[in-house]
Amino acid sequence: MYPHMLPILEKDNVQRFLRLYAVCPSCIAWGFIIIPEVLNRMIIHDALRCAKLVLEGKALELGGFRASPNGMNKYGYFPLHEAAERFSIDMIRLLLHHGALTNLRTAGASVIEDLLPLHVAVEDTCLHKYLNDNLTKKDADYVYKGPVWIMGLELVWVSWRLK
């Protein structure tokens, strides 16, 4: 389903999202909720209008279905963690407005467990600053590809280019 959703989310097109939902509601919703991965993809692409649509659940086309601002995605992150990782202030505001909890912690084998959204934001800020401080202008075309280690833990596999 994600390949069909990608151009919709890149343009943050609510009408096209609703048309996609009409064609395949079971691909986007389960039970009476929009599946967490759909909201996760909206956050990744900073599709604020689409995220607002599914968080409110007021569109007649959705039939009362809505997304939970506190649903864990398959990677062990909650929506607020995902928005914090991307430094998306508007998305964070939207999620908080719709009841996202700030005390939910990451869980699962795919993430460092027990992190709050604030931890994720601080960690990414530190990583960004470290890379900017340690790559010089002569390294402007240098592309780092590999794991990032902080305090002895492999945090993430990154590809970084200094601009």
CA 125 to the chain's CA centroid: 16
Confidence band for 158, pLDDT divided at 50, 70 and 90? very low
Structural domain contains residue 62: yes
Structural domain contains residue 81: yes
- In terms of phi and psi (left: phi > 0; alpha: psi -120 to 50; beta: otherwise), the region of 141 is alpha
Please, what is the average pLDDT of the chain? 84
Per the structure, the complete domain to which residue 10 belongs is given by 2-115
29: which DSSP letter?
A: E
Structural domain contains residue 141: no
State both tokens at 53: 């649509």
Per the structure, how many domains does the chain have? 1
Q: Assign residue 39 the CATH number of its domain.
A: 1.25.40.20
pLDDT in tens, 13-64: 999 999 999 999 999 999 889 999 999 999 999 999 999 999 999 999 999 9
Residues linked to residue 34 through DSSP beta bridges, in sequence order: 29, 67
State both tokens at 123: 């960690």
From the list 40, 23, 16, 163, the residue with the least C-alpha distance to 91 is 40
Give residue 156's pLDDT.
47
Instruction: Choose between 161 and 116: higher pLDDT.
Output: 116
Mean pLDDT in residue range 115-119? 87
Give residue 118's pLDDT.
83
Which H or E run contains 131?
helix 117-134
CA 77 to the chain's CA centroid: 8
> Per-residue pLDDT for 157 more than 50?
no
The CB density around residue 70, as the number of other CB atoms within 10 Å, is: 15
Structural domain contains residue 19: yes
Give residue 109's pLDDT.
87
Longest dimension (CA), the chain: 56
- Is residue 124 within 8 Å of residue 115, measured between CB atoms? no
> Per-residue pLDDT for 143 more than 60?
no
Global pTM?
0.78
Structural domain contains residue 135: no
Mean pLDDT in residue range 129-150? 60
> Per-residue pLDDT for 141 more than 60?
no
Structural domain contains residue 74: yes
